Structure formats: structure tokens, C-alpha cells
Amino acid sequence: MIMSLSIILITSLSILTFVVLWYLTKFFVRIFILLFILIVGFSYLYINNIGPFNKELIEIDLIKDKYCVDNEDEDICNCIVRIIESRADSISLNNSDKKFLIHKSIIDSYQQSMECLEKRDAKTKYKKFLADIAGINDWSLPDSLEFKTKEISNKLLENINQ
């Protein structure tokens, strides 16, 4: 009788262990599949610069809203924002790489913007514009572009002080 009881007990524990391991394995496989799908999804977003991984931190619409809506600052709107917008349009037509499009446009349009501001006797407004896009108002630039912005600001200060 003891022998048969121990066989029944061992058999039932083996079956119980098998069932528990079966369900735990299914649970962990589901967790692994869910984590794999999340990793693949976030990797896709990161690689394609979508959503929170979008590297274009400044958009032309933000700049236009800030300076051109309600004509808050007509000099900045006409001499800087409109020139940047036209430069961005020409860059996007010629180049399929749209990363940092606005940043490139700002750097490329510096001379033309300064000439326009000089005609209006408002050269100091370029520095105000650069300060806004360099970090004030929660906008930010990548390090290399921030360096370029500071370099342009220093050149502007040198020209104004002369």
C-alpha cells in the first residue's frame, strides 16, 4: 500500500510539475514575443526618425507661427523666416535627405538675411532670432549646429560693434 501511494504521489507531482512548467513556458514565450514586438517597433521608429525619435527639432511652421502670425516682428518675418522658408524649399527639391533641413537653411541663408536686415537697419534682430532657436522657448539644436549658431552670433556681434 505504501508503494502504491508513493507511485501515485510521484505520478501526480510529475503531472502537476509538467502542467505548471507547460503554462509557465507559454507565459514566458508570450512575454518574450511581446518584448520582441516592442523592440522591433521602437527600432523601426528610431531608424526612420519617427515620433519621439524625430531629429528635426525645429519646424518652419513653428518659426512662422512665432514671428509671422500677428506680424509680431515684421523684420524677422520678412528678412529671416521667409528667406529660410524659401531656402528650405530649394534644398528639399535638390536633396532627398531632409534631416536638419531647417538647420541647414538657417545656416545657408545667413548672408541673405543679414543683407535684408541691414537695409532695414535691424541687424541686431538676427541675434535675437538665433537666441530663440538656440534653446530659449524649448527649441534646441544639435551640438554642431549650436556651435555654428554661436559662431554666427559672434560674427554678428563683431560686425555690430564695428
Do 12 and 78 belong together in one domain? no
* Distances from the Cα of 56 to the Cα of 118, 142, 151, angstroms: 30, 10, 21
The predicted-structure confidence for 93-106, as pLDDT tens digits, reads as follows 666 555 567 777 77
The predicted-structure confidence for 25-77, as pLDDT tens digits, reads as follows 999 999 999 999 999 998 888 887 776 776 555 667 777 777 787 666 777 88
Rounded to an integer, the average pLDDT of 79-84 is 83
Label residue 136 by pLDDT band (50, 70, 90). Answer: very low
- List CB contacts of 132: < 8 A, sequence separation 6 or more: 66, 139
* Distances from the Cα of 127 to the Cα of 91, 97, 120, angstroms: 24, 28, 15
Do 128 and 113 belong together in one domain? yes
Which pLDDT value is given to residue 137? 43
Do 42 and 86 belong together in one domain? no
Q: Which residue range(s) make up the domain with 22?
A: 2-52
Total number of domains in the chain? 2
Distance CA 58, CA 114 (A): 21
For 81-100, b where at least 16 C-beta lie within 10 A, e where not — what string? Answer: bbbbbebbeebeeeeeeeeb
CA dihedral for 72, 138, 61, 156, sign (positive or negative): positive
Which pLDDT value is given to residue 139? 46
The structure's pTM equals: 0.48
Distance CA 98, CA 52 (A): 17
Do 34 and 85 belong together in one domain? no
